[in-house]
């Protein structure tokens, strides 16, 4: 027993060291930074203060948090609906075609994130592909302004994180016994009721995992809003970036980063708690054994 | 006794999957309140036929009449027919009670009536103490009863059971066979069971249909199918049968060594065509009286005690495979035989069935 424990801690050591050196220590440094003042010429004045955290709740910055949450939330909602539908279709396809469809769904992942995001600029700019396509269909008015809008940012986020949702939802959908849906139909349920009462509840864990992924990655994102939202479009990620690299206010940037991490942790913890409760409910009712 | 009413008429039904003809022109009548078995080896089309009765497949051809009304194209949720799945297909996220209530909720019955009917069926199937459990917390036999309760609570005109006992171990299976039969009697619902286990259908069914390659070979009572198989395949598939290959003669089959096996030759069998004479193991006697119509000698190759009776493998010059003979333990005690013994065996002409090879 103790030997296996020793062996397992030995196996875990490299990962733990890695995490400590590259995650915990830097995070602790950033956290510490948040409690100091900004120096007059941009450096750090090592006197303790809570001002930076106070500033986070300033309506100006709190507004950016809310906006980021709204954009991430919208992107998550769209990604979940589109991704679930795609995963459903793939899981319903003939078995031997499923890996092929999955491969295509995940294909964008194999190219660089920046290049993928630049591709959207090519699509959405005033004389871009979308405008040309509209012209081809006989549209003659002003080219629509799509790039550098909130919509473009959401589109970029959805596009980039959709594969996560497809994969996360495909797993439970493909494992679902097709006879469950048949049983529901056999017992008198319509196709819609079958989806609502049998298929959806059994695939919620996949949806939750995919949604958390999209939300957490979206709310802290700074590349997509910078490229597709234009220079003045700000999400928290951009704000943090600006504090560190433009405004040279590292302590405030650190406080913002900490607030962002806190939000992400809250979302992840909520998901873990919900999953735990679901598992606990199953475990609680177990134990009677056979009668 | 009045002629029993036909509940379900399968009228010349066929089903093609691409170029494969899974069910080929099957016509069957299933009567009110009967326990009917669809029997055949895997791939014979019995499951496809069952799925057409449930509404999961649409016949390529033919009609399915329930109470005289064609339901071949009625969706599964609109038919008074329920299916008990081979995998049971219990909803894993719902308790036993929720599983059983589901079908009644779909009928939009008042909550009070649902509760009463669910309680009643849970009592009948002895599931009351497990009402709040999830399927994963049940044993195989309990799951099977939940699947049954979930289908029965709907009070269908017809209950379909797809290999209902396949997942149970042998001992439990025997108990559940009788249990199913008792339940069917109690609820007064017509049962159609699909099985590949010929013993199961002999035990449970009032009538049975034997299918092969999508075609119906025979439909009759278990007794009639066992005693008067329609063809060589049925004779071989149901129970154990000894075959003697040869040529059809006037009143029997002439085996390759020249021995004539006396028996009634069907009119359809022309003289001198290839034929097999067959006889059940329990119809063969050791040390027959001299006036027995069919007699031969053989060497005992193996014996197996099976409680009440003794099974012997006897090598004879009549067929390449040894004869299987079943004698009662009683008879074996009176005149013991052992491996290597030369014995005489015989059977009556009335017990011989002759088929086209």
**Residue-wise pLDDT tens digits, A122-149:** 888 888 888 888 888 988 888 888 889 9
Task: Give the mutation candidate from B102, B125, B136, B155 for the A interface (greatest A CB count, under 10 A).
Answer: B102
- Whether residue B52 contacts residue B65, with contact meaning beta carbons closer than 8 Å, is answered with no
Strands B190-195 and B158-162 turn out to be: parallel
B180 and B304 both lie in a single domain:
no
User: By mean pLDDT, which of A237-246, B32-41, B266-275 is the weakest?
Assistant: B266-275
Please indicate, yes or no, whether residues B19 and B129 belong to a single structural domain of this protein. yes
Strand partners, A271: none
Q: Which of B169, B202, B227 is the last residue of a domain?
A: B227
pLDDT at B64 over 80: yes
**A40 located within any domain:** no
Residue B313 covered by a domain: yes
Q: Answer yes or no: is pLDDT of B241 > 80.
A: yes
Inter-chain CB pairs, A–B, below 8 Å? 71
Cβ atoms of A130 and A123 closer than 8 Å:
yes
User: Considering only CB atoms, which chain A residues are within 8 Å of B149?
Assistant: none
| pLDDT (0 to 100) of residue A282 | 52
The reply to whether A25 falls in a domain is: no
Banded pLDDT at A291 (limits 50, 70, 90): very low
Per DSSP, A142 falls in state: P
- The CATH number assigned to the domain holding B306 equals 2.40.50.100
So what's the pLDDT on residue A286?
42
Question: How many domains are there within chain A?
Answer: 1
Q: Which residue of B has its CA nearest to A190?
A: B77
Assess contact for A78 and A158: CB atoms under 8 A. yes
One domain for residues B253 and B350: yes
User: Is the per-residue pLDDT at B20 higher than 70?
Assistant: yes
Residues B195 and B262 in one domain: no
Domain residues for the domain of B262 are 240-356
pLDDT at A276: 80
Instruction: Report pLDDT for A281.
Output: 59
Overall average pLDDT of the A237-241 stretch:
92
pLDDT class of B199 with cuts at 50, 70, 90: confident
Count of structural domains within chain B: 2
Q: Is B87's CB within 8 Å of A179's CB?
A: yes
Please check whether residue B223 lies inside any domain of the structure: yes
Q: If you count DSSP H runs as helices and E runs as strands, how many of each does chain A have, helices first? A: 14, 2
Closest CA to B293 of B353, B235, B351: B351
The answer to whether residues B36 and B105 belong to one domain is yes
Of residues A168 and A130, more confidently modeled: A168
Tell me, what CATH number does A179's domain have? 1.10.3720.10
Q: Please give the residue range of the domain that contains residue A135.
A: 64-274
Do A165 and A210 contact (CB within 8 A), yes or no? yes
pLDDT at A36: 92
Domain check: are B193 and B65 in the same one? yes
Question: Which residue among B184, B206, B227 closes a domain?
Answer: B227
Q: How much is the mean pLDDT over chain B?
A: 90
Q: What's residue B197's pLDDT?
A: 87
Average pLDDT over residues A242-246: 90
pTM of the model: 0.82
**What is the average pLDDT score of chain A?**
89
8 Å CB contact of B91 and A184: yes
| CATH code assigned at B205 | 3.40.50.300
Same domain (yes/no): B133, B274: no
Q: What percent of chain B has pLDDT over 70?
A: 99
Q: pLDDT for A148-157, tens place per residue?
A: 999 999 999 9
Residues of A with CB under 8 A from a CB of B: 177, 179-180, 182-190, 193, 197-198, 201-202, 282, 285-286, 288, 290-291
Neighboring chain B residues of A201 at a CB cutoff of 8 Å = 93
* A222 located within any domain: yes
Cβ neighbours of B85 in A, within 8 Å? 179, 182-183
Provide the pLDDT for residue B270: 80
* Of A51 and A279, more confident: A51
B207 with B307, same domain: the answer is no
pLDDT, one tens digit per residue, over A28-79 is 999 999 999 988 877 888 889 999 999 999 999 999 999 999 999 999 999 9
Q: Do B315 and B198 fall into the same domain?
A: no
For Cα atoms A54, A57, A59, give the angle at the middle one, nearest 5 degrees.
130
Q: Is residue A8 part of a domain?
A: no
Best mutation site among A178, A179, A182, A183 for testing chain B: the one with the most B CBs within 10 Å? A183
Give the per-residue pLDDT at B226: 95
Question: What is d(CA A239, CA A243) in angstroms, rounded to the nearest whole number?
Answer: 6
Return the residue in A178, A187, A280 with the most chain B beta carbons within 10 A, the one to mutate for interface testing.
A187
Query: Each residue of A192-213: pLDDT tens digit?
Result: 999 999 999 999 989 999 999 9
pLDDT of residue B328: 85
First to last CA, chain A: 34
Which of the pair, B211 or B250, is modelled with greater confidence? Answer: B211
**Residue B103, domain member (yes or no):** yes
Q: Of A33, A75, A43, whose CA–CA distance to A256 is shortest?
A: A33
- Is residue A130 in some structural domain? yes
Does residue B234 fall inside a structural domain?
Answer: no
Residue A90 has pLDDT above 70, yes or no: yes
The answer to whether A147 touches A125, Cβ cutoff 8 Å, is: yes
Q: Is residue B316 part of a domain?
A: yes
- Same domain for B117 and B68: yes
Better-predicted residue by pLDDT, B110 or A147: B110
What SS3 state is found at A148? coil
pLDDT of A285: 46
Residues B168 and B314 placed together within one structural domain of the fold: no
Please report whether residue B233 resides in a domain: no
- HEC string of chain B? CCCCCEEEEEEEEEEEECCEEEEEEEEEEEECCCEEEEECCCCCCHHHHHHHHHCCCCCCEEEEEECCEECCCCCHHHCCEEEECCCCCCCCCCCHHHHHHHHHHHCCCCHHHHHHHHHHHHHHCCCHHHCCCCHHHCCHHHHHHHHHHHHHCCCCCEEEEECCCCCCCHHHHHHHHHHHHHHHHHHCCEEEEEECCHHHHHHHCCEEEEEECCEEEEEECHHHHHHCCCCHHHHHHCCCCEEEEEEECCCEEEECCCCEEECECCCCCCCCCEEEEEECHHHCEECCCCCCCEEEEEEEEEEEEECCEEEEEEECCCCCCCEEEEEEHHHHHHCCCCCCCEEEEEECHHHCEEEEC
Burial of B326 (0-12, 13-18, 19+ CB in 10 A): middle
The answer to whether B339 touches B284, Cβ cutoff 8 Å, is no
């Amino acid at each position: 027993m103790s030997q296996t424990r020793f062996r397992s801690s030995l196996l875990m050591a490299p990962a733990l060291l890695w995490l400590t050196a590259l995650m915990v220590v830097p995070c602790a440094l950033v956290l510490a930074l948040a409690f100091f003042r900004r120096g007059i010429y941009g450096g750090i004045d090592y006197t303790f203060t809570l001002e930076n955290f106070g500033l986070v709740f300033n309506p100006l910055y709190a507004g950016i948090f809310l906006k980021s949450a709204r954009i991430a939330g919208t992107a998550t909602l769209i990604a979940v609906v589109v991704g679930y539908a795609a995963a459903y279709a793939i899981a319903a396809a003939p078995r031997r075609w499923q890996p092929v469809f999955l491969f295509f769904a995940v294909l964008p992942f194999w190219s660089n994130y920046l290049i993928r995001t630049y591709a959207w600029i090519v699509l959405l700019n005033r004389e871009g592909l979308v405008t040309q396509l509209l012209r081809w269909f006989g549209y003659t008015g002003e080219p629509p302004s799509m790039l550098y809008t909130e919509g473009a940012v959401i589109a970029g986020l959805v596009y980039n994180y959709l594969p996560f949702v497809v994969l996360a939802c495909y797993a439970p959908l493909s494992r679902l016994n097709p006879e469950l849906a048949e049983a529901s139909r056999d017992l008198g349920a319509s196709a819609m009721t079958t989806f609502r009462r049998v298929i959806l509840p059994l695939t919620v864990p996949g949806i939750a995992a995919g949604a958390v992924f999209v939300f957490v990655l979206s709310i802290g994102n700074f590349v997509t809003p910078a490229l597709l939202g234009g220079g003045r479009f700000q999400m928290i990620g951009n704000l943090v970036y600006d504090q560190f690299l433009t405004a040279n206010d590292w302590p405030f940037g650190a406080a913002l980063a900490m607030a962002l991490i806190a939000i992400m942790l809250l979302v992840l913890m909520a998901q873990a708690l919900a999953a735990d409760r679901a598992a606990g409910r199953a475990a609680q009712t177990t134990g009677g054994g056979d009668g | 006794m009045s002629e029993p009413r036909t509940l379900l008429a399968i009228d010349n039904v066929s089903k093609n999957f691409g170029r494969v003809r899974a069910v080929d022109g099957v016509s069957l009548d299933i009567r009110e309140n009967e326990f009917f078995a669809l029997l055949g080896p895997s791939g014979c089309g019995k499951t496809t036929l069952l799925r057409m009765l449930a509404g999961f497949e649409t016949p390529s051809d033919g009609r399915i009449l329930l109470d005289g009304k064609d339901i071949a194209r009625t969706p599964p949720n609109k038919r008074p027919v329920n299916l008990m799945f081979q995998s049971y297909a219990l909803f894993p996220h719902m308790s036993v009670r929720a599983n059983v209530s589901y079908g009644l909720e779909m009928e939009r019955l008042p909550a009070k009536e649902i509760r009463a009917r669910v309680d009643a069926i849970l009592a009948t199937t002895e599931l009351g103490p497990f009402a709040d459990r999830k399927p994963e917390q049940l044993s195989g036999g309990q799951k099977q009863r939940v699947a049954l309760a979930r289908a029965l609570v709907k009070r269908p005109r017809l209950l379909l059971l797809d290999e209902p006992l396949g997942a149970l171990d042998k001992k439990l299976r025997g108990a559940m066979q009788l249990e199913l039969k008792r339940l069917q009697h109690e609820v007064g619902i017509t049962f159609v069971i699909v099985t590949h286990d010929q013993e199961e259908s002999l035990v449970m069914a009032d009538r049975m249909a034997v299918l092969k390659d999508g075609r119906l070979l025979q439909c009759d009572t278990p007794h009639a199918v066992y005693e008067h198989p329609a063809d060589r395949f049925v004779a071989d598939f149901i129970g154990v049968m000894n075959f003697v290959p040869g040529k059809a003669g006037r009143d029997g089959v002439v085996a390759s060594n020249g021995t004539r096996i006396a028996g009634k030759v069907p009119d359809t069998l022309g003289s001198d065509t290839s034929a097999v004479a067959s006889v059940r193991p329990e119809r063969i006697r050791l040390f027959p009286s001299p006036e027995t119509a069919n007699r031969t000698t053989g060497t005992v190759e193996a014996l197996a005690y099976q409680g009440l009776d003794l099974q012997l493998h006897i090598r004879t010059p009549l067929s390449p495979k040894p004869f299987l003979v079943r004698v009662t333990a009683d008879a074996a005690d009176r005149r013991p035989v052992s491996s290597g013994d030369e014995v005489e065996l015989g059977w009556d002409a009335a017990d011989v069935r002759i088929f086209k090879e």
